Chains A and B, each alone.
Chain A
């Protein structure tokens, strides 16, 4: 009874049912499209963030909160050995690499520029900047006084691979040190800000420049982003067993931009979904009220036959449930087709602060589909409550008098 009667009732006025399904489907498809777009953008940003920072970074607490004097935060070889031992026990760790970051002044000809230098282990795949090289070559294990510069940086200083720049830094002892560096290659990154400020050089040479054998952090790459929090908890647990003062940060904590953007996306999706749901709610409310009112006499009949009020409510609610399922299901199918078409066209857009346009995409997974589906089903069911209650509360004799 709960399947047959409601489903057949939906077929009674096919045009109206088709219109209702179309409205619910359109609302669902819009929500899916918006969420799919945000999910795709978020995924791209996740990948870029991990590419830039690694999945985890381990450093001294004073490094993270920027309270250290000079280079007090540097990790000694003994600290590194302790962290390495903990990481050896962690299955999710794919690779790790120590790094040393510092500020410096680059001079080339008459031009000078303040830069952020990161000294890393050439050939280590953890943060393989060599993959980003678009001109010249990457850093190699045999390199000493070599440097990778960003494309924007190279354009600003009008330098190219093979040219020599001078990097001036402050050593850990507070003295000035300077050295010529040969540009081995030029890299390209999604952010022009990174390209114009960030240079990479071999770790050993960076340590030589700063007159230290320490590093500021250890970058860790995990096998899967989903492993981030569990691995962080286990590693932090291992670090806390000894008074090392070291702290693990995750990729999203290292990029405040990521959290701001996902927060913005979530808020925007909430607003769009709410607006669509309210629209679906009121249109379906109107349609169902009309549909149920037309069946007043029928309600009177089934009540006269002994159908209880609750059963009348359930019958009408079941009808709305099937309508919601059909509408939301159609909406998901429509949204997927729309998304596939959008992805096939490959529309490009250049976000502010980036050097290359990105291809916009709609990410369609079970995770992006279930929320619009559930929201549409709930909006439709909510819209059915009032007319279903009205139908259930009809006075039998009065309902039978309606022609």
Chain B
């Protein structure tokens, strides 16, 4: 397993910020407080792991940062832009250009090949064909799948699918990558490989990685770990020994 041991962290440049972020779900007559007044900040090039058990609110938190859900109250700032003021179209643009997403179950489009899955975000951005192909090929090479571009997701192993998903999250050169339980469906060894890859990419592309997980192994890769319980964040400290500032 390759271990770079460094991050592309730049203190003072805030990429993601939440203020008093609250999300309440209504289940029948009951109100479920999934998040309660969460304040969070992540700076450029950060690699944050949000650790918590099932039902602690970590996926809800990630969805709010990813602008795919709206908070009950509070605010999310992405690159100093308040997402609550954005229309549906502007939110889609934000997700397309600024945020890369990695899902627990990979969520690749089954009818597209690995290459086409990675290419998809660039098609949305109407990047010219030649440039598109170069970027996809380079990223697939970077995640070690240069020879498997023609394969459909069903023809790939779990680890390979997650690497395709990582390449897809990075291809549009986002500033923030959000990963929801990226190792949950992988065996330990493959999970470690994917995390190593993500940390290498964090360093090389200087992209913020926010990873939510309940896998203790994942926390080893974090520059900073934050615990979440019952919808509240608790600072879990930094892996200072493993990380460094740029």
Contacts and interface: CB of A to CB of B under 8 A. Distances in A.
B68 A304 contact: yes
A202 B31 CA distance: 102
Closest 5 CB pairs of A and B: A306-B96, A8-B111, A397-B69, A396-B68, A301-B107
B121 interface: yes
Contacts of A5: 109, 111-112
A107 interface: no
Contact of B110 (A1, A12, A307): A12
A12 B111 contact: yes
A306 to B, nearest CB: 3
B93 to A, nearest CB: 7
Contact of B95 (A9, A12, A305, A400): A305
A293 B154 CA distance: 21
A298 interface: yes
Interface string B67-98: 01100000000000000000011001111110
B103 A400 contact: yes
A301 B109 contact: yes
B138 interface: no
Interface residues of A, number: 24
A12 B112 CA distance: 11
B17 interface: no
B66 interface: yes
Interface string A9-29: 101100000000000000000
Interface residues of B, number: 26
A308 B89 contact: yes
Given A301-B103, A301-B109, A311 B69 contact: no
B95 A8 contact: no
Nearest to B116: A4
A306 B96 CA distance: 4
B124 interface: yes
Contact of A303 (B92, B116, B123): B92
Contacts of A304: 66, 68, 95, 101, 107
A349 to B, nearest CB: 51
Interface of B: 63, 66, 68-69, 88-89, 92-97, 101, 103, 107, 109-112, 116, 120-121, 123-124, 168, 172
Contacts of B168: 305
A306 B92 CA distance: 4
B101 A302 contact: no
A350 to B, nearest CB: 56
Contacts of B96: 305-307
Nearest to B23: A397
11 contacts: A8-B111, A300-B107, A301-B103, A301-B109, A302-B109, A304-B107, A306-B92, A306-B96, A308-B89, A309-B88, A396-B69
A1 B66 CA distance: 24
Interface of A: 1, 4-5, 8-9, 11-12, 297-298, 300-309, 311, 395-397, 400
Nearest to A301: B107
Nearest to A398: B69
Contacts of A306: 92-97, 121, 124, 172
Contacts of B107: 297-298, 300-301, 304, 400
Nearest to A11: B111
Nearest to A1: B123
Contacts of B120: 1, 302, 305
Nearest to B63: A397
Contact of B101 (A11, A305, A307): A305
A397 B59 CA distance: 10
Contacts of A305: 95-96, 101, 120-121, 124, 168
B133 to A, nearest CB: 14
Contacts of A301: 103, 107, 109
B68 A400 contact: yes
A304 B180 CA distance: 13
Nearest to B100: A305
B177 to A, nearest CB: 12
Contacts of A298: 107, 109-110
